[in-house]
Chains A and B, each alone.
Chain A
Amino acid sequence: MDIKKAQAASSLSFGEGRAEAKQEYNITVYTENQIGLLNRIAIIFTRRKINIESLNTSPSEIDSIHRFDIVLTETEDVVRKLARQIEKQVEVLKVYYHTNDEIIWQEMALYKVPTDTIAEKVLVERLLREHGARAVVIRKDYTVFETTGHRTETDNLLYALQPFGLIEFVRSARIAIIKSSEGFNRKLREFEQLEPGQEVSENEFLSKRDKVFTM
């Protein structure tokens, strides 16, 4: 972290050291389903020593198109540059980035707890209900609960269950719905044409430049 700050200050870094605040950004990437593409995208971050906080990749609503949801904490300047570098990759169709306000997001968490403790303690049951958790598996020796929510929510249940002998915990990567998105179907049809419409062939961030020009 310190090194990155120092680089930013020297104005030679990727971020050009503009005094912009870092915040969480969600990068959404639509790609072809191609072996090796995950690596090609990952090294765009690692080369610049930027940490990916969460990464989800799965088939999208469209056959053969994959979707990456990437979360990181950076300035917008850095995120915009990363997005352009990602979109430059041959097998990437489109990249978007959004702040948390612009998306609806969720992470899923699983908790494994000894069955006897929860059976004994009524407290636990109430606790689980409060956190909207549900049992996925109940066995003699252990029970697995599941809950979905924001990071703080899944964290809260984690802290709450710890005193009751929590055995194992896992949390999924973040997945997000973009509030303003109209889906990718129409865009894809445009991509399939040799002469695409303006929107497709241009970089997504171009429109943001409209206000920049002053004379």
Chain B
Amino acid sequence: MEIAQEELLTIVPETKKIKEVSGSVALLEGLVAEGVDTIFGYPGGAIMPIYDALYDYKEKLNHILVRHEQGGIHAGQGYARSSGKVGVVFATSGPGATNLITGLADAQIDSTPLVCITGQVFAHLLGTDAFQETDVINITTPVTKWNYQVTDANEIPEVMAKAFHIAKSGRPGPVLIDITKNAQIQKFNFEGYVKSNHIRSYRPKPIVRNEYIEQAAELINQAKKPFVIWGQGVILGKAEKEFQAFIEKGNLPAAWTILGVGAIPTDHELNVGMLGMHGNYGPNVLTNECDVLIAIGMRFDDRVTGRLDKYAKQAKIIHLDIDPAEIDKNVQTTVPVWGDCKETLPLLTKLIEEKKHTEWLQKFKEYQQKEVKAVIDAELNPTAGEMTMGEVINQLNILTQGEAIIVTDVGQHQMVACRYAKFNKTRSNVTSGGLGTMGFALPAAIGAKFGAQDRTVVAIAGDGGFQMTIQELGTIMQCGIDVKILVLNNRFLGMVRQWQELFNERRYSFVDIQSPDFVKVASAYGIDGKCISEREELQNALKEMLEHKGSYLLEVMVTKENNVFPMVPQGCSVSEIRLK
């Protein structure tokens, strides 16, 4: 079959002027046309023709060789999240492709635009259990917005154009294109690359309905205790300004999900804090006291709502979302405002009245003061004992002034970083929210730096999660990118230990984790670093890390058994949030 293929290709139509190129070249031309500048990838047998073509595209496409495909896709996610562009990832067939699954699932649940290209065995070998053949399309179907297998080079330009259009439009998400090796090699008449802006079966955005805007505005205007909760939709929709104008006109207190943080500055007076399991006291309790709850670009995740049948039952609910499937999925809305919030928010702002809501805003302040006394003070400004995670973040804030991109891993340090890190700019917090993927921080930070090269990027990881993708230090070494790595070492799988302490009578079952000498490991990769355990060293060590030329690893030994509070225990209502 292979030979037959080759024979076919020798019949070159001489009359046509159209360029005859291989599928691989057409693919790379497509990437260039889409404005791609960086690819994260790892080669292998089934994707070799594409890598061979890439050799001649070094000037236009910067390929970063990662150490593991999971690292590659998390880097693609970090890139997409910091830049607002589509992340591009290459992997080979079989194990290369299956190593992408965690990242695909993560990008799918966190709506991150990605185009992943996987090599596949020759088309004539499909279904024969060929070497490194895996049914990638079926494995990835549940974790992709769209996927497609290309077996003929002629399909490549159109499929690539579709892939980019689907990945970034509407509610963004990961797309995977699996290309058989014959299609990568096959020469065809390449008539140029045309970007896609229309697929007949695909409606990225529902049409805005004015009556719902009017109904929503009326509800907001009559509200005594309106409360805005926002998520990543505001950032994905690039609607930060529109959002700020909306809450400012109505003086509406607004709280964020961990993917929404940074859409308005931390210090904005209407920013009342974080929602959810480890969110702030006021926003959680007052969710169950507000009279109108305005949810914008968020999906009522169970970590945000706690027990659903006791969630904001007293409130009328307005839900702004671009994805119709999110409306009424978890929480029944009173008014569904379908559409892109970049379009719906200005319409809503026009119709709402200027209000003060002084007393209502004051309530948030009172709860804030209670939380400061009960939790925050001790966490951020301890004077004795071992260091806390909170004080590390607090000292970091003082030095970065909220200008850095913070990329977190998953666990206690993630919750502490999200709670206390200061953000002045949008696209500054990159975290694995929906999937909670340990090992995310280091590779995502590498990608985030490529996506925003003029910004400081700090990866914050626990001693557990850091070891899950620690091999990506090799990527840093090779590409020489400047990423600051802050490991908060509590010598435990902290978040699981916290649950075991609180809910399993301190039966610490396999959460006691040993670590190598991280500074030595970093040093083996040519990365400078330091480990500190004394409070007096903290400020200087952080300063040294931030001022260091190039990547740097700072390991901070923190309290072993600290707990993240407040906490809405699983199965409890948001108003049952515990301060200790």
Contact = CB atoms under 8 A, between A and B. Distances in A.
Q: Do A and B come from one complex?
A: yes
A110 B224 CA distance: 66
A208 B370 CA distance: 44
Contacts of B336: 206, 209
B219 A85 contact: no
Contacts of B309: 11, 17
B141 interface: yes
B141 A90 contact: no
Interface in A1-23: 11-12, 16-17
A155 B336 CA distance: 45
Interface in A67-94: 80-81, 84-85, 87-88, 90-93
Given A92-B201, A194-B198, A16 B141 contact: no
A11 B313 CA distance: 13
Contacts of A32: 201
Contact of B329 (A81, A188, A198): A81
Contacts of B138: 36, 39
Interface in A21-68: 31-32, 35-36, 39-40, 43, 47
B80 interface: no
B324 A88 contact: yes
B308 A206 contact: no
B147 interface: yes
A84 B308 CA distance: 21
A16 B308 contact: yes
Contacts of B215: 213
Nearest to B144: A40
A16 B325 contact: no
A47 B222 contact: no
A142 to B, nearest CB: 36
Contacts of B323: 88
B203 interface: yes
B203 A40 contact: no
A194 B219 contact: no
Given A36-B138, A43-B141, A93 B198 contact: no
A212 interface: yes
B271 to A, nearest CB: 29
Contacts of A132: none
A206 B482 CA distance: 49
B338 A206 contact: yes
Interface string B192-215: 000001111111011101000001
A16 B333 CA distance: 13
B325 A88 contact: yes
B206 A203 contact: yes
B122 to A, nearest CB: 18
Nearest to A203: B324
Contacts of B197: 194
A188 B149 CA distance: 26
Given A16-B308, A213-B335, A91 B141 contact: no
A201 interface: yes
A166 interface: no
Given A88-B325, A191-B200, A191-B201, A16 B332 contact: yes
A152 to B, nearest CB: 35
A43 B218 contact: no
A93 B498 CA distance: 47
B302 A12 contact: yes
B497 interface: no
Nearest to A86: B325
A80 B338 CA distance: 16
Contacts of A17: 309
A123 interface: no
Contacts of A108: none
A88 B144 CA distance: 12
Interface in B135-183: 137-138, 141-142, 145-149, 166
Nearest to A88: B325
Nearest to B311: A11
Contacts of B137: 36
A84 B218 CA distance: 28
A183 interface: no
Nearest to B162: A90
Nearest to B305: A12
A215 B219 contact: yes
B478 interface: no
A215 B203 contact: no
A16 B338 contact: no
Contacts of A192: 200
Contacts of A40: 141
Nearest to A189: B200
A202 interface: yes
A90 B167 CA distance: 11
A188 B308 CA distance: 39
Contact of A202 (B200, B206, B219, B325): B206
A201 B207 contact: yes
Contacts of B338: 202-203, 206
A196 interface: yes
A173 interface: no
B288 interface: no
A214 B218 CA distance: 11
A12 B308 contact: yes
Contacts of B308: 11-12, 16
Nearest to A47: B142
A118 interface: no
Contacts of B199: 90
B334 interface: yes
Contacts of A161: none
A24 B431 CA distance: 42
Interface in A178-193: 188, 191-192
22 contacts: A11-B309, A12-B308, A16-B308, A17-B309, A35-B149, A36-B138, A36-B141, A36-B148, A36-B149, A81-B329, A84-B325, A90-B146, A90-B199, A92-B201, A194-B197, A196-B203, A201-B205, A203-B206, A206-B206, A206-B338, A213-B335, A214-B334
Interface of A: 11-12, 16-17, 31-32, 35-36, 39-40, 43, 47, 80-81, 84-85, 87-88, 90-93, 188, 191-192, 194, 196, 198, 200-203, 206, 209, 212-215
Given A84-B327, A201-B206, 20 more contacts: A39-B138, A39-B141, A40-B141, A43-B141, A80-B328, A84-B324, A88-B323, A88-B324, A90-B146, A91-B202, A93-B200, A188-B200, A194-B198, A203-B338, A206-B324, A206-B336, A206-B338, A212-B334, A213-B335, A215-B218
